[in-house]
């Protein structure tokens, strides 16, 4: 199944490791360090230039990508759960 993250970005759901709310997670130093390291390694993809609300960590073929989206985690989960209903 596929998940639309916003703008023109679509990913497969089988590569998703986790969905995170930016406001709730960036309070932690470990999360900020993870995002900074991903940015430094070129693993971050900004889906939109709007205010970010979530980030999705994906891993496929041994490579990690972090997608930063303007959509909330609630919206992304709703899209995943109700795709074929």
In the prediction, which pLDDT does 26 show? 85
Buried b vs exposed e over 15-48: b needs ≥16 C-beta within 10 Å?
Answer: bbeebbebeebeeeeeeeebbeebeeeebbbbbb
pLDDT 10s digits, 3-50: 999 888 999 999 999 999 999 988 899 999 999 999 999 999 999 889
Distance separating alpha carbons of residues 85 and 81, to the nearest angstrom:
8
Residue 78's contacts (CB-CB under 8 Å, 6 or more residues apart) are none
**Confidence at 81, pLDDT banded by 50, 70, 90:** confident
Q: For the whole model, what pTM was predicted?
A: 0.91
Which two three-digit tokens encode residue 64?
């990690």
Provide the token pair at 49.
């230039």
């Amino acid at each position: 199944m596929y998940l639309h993250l916003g703008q023109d970005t679509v990913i497969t759901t089988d590569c998703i490791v986790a969905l995170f709310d930016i406001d709730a997670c960036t309070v932690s130093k470990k999360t900020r360090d993870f995002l900074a390291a991903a940015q430094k390694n070129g693993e971050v993809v900004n889906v939109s230039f709007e205010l970010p609300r979530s980030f999705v960590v994906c891993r496929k073929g041994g490579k990690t990508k972090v997608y930063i989206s303007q959509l909330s985690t609630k919206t992304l989960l709703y899209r995943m759960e109700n795709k074929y209903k």
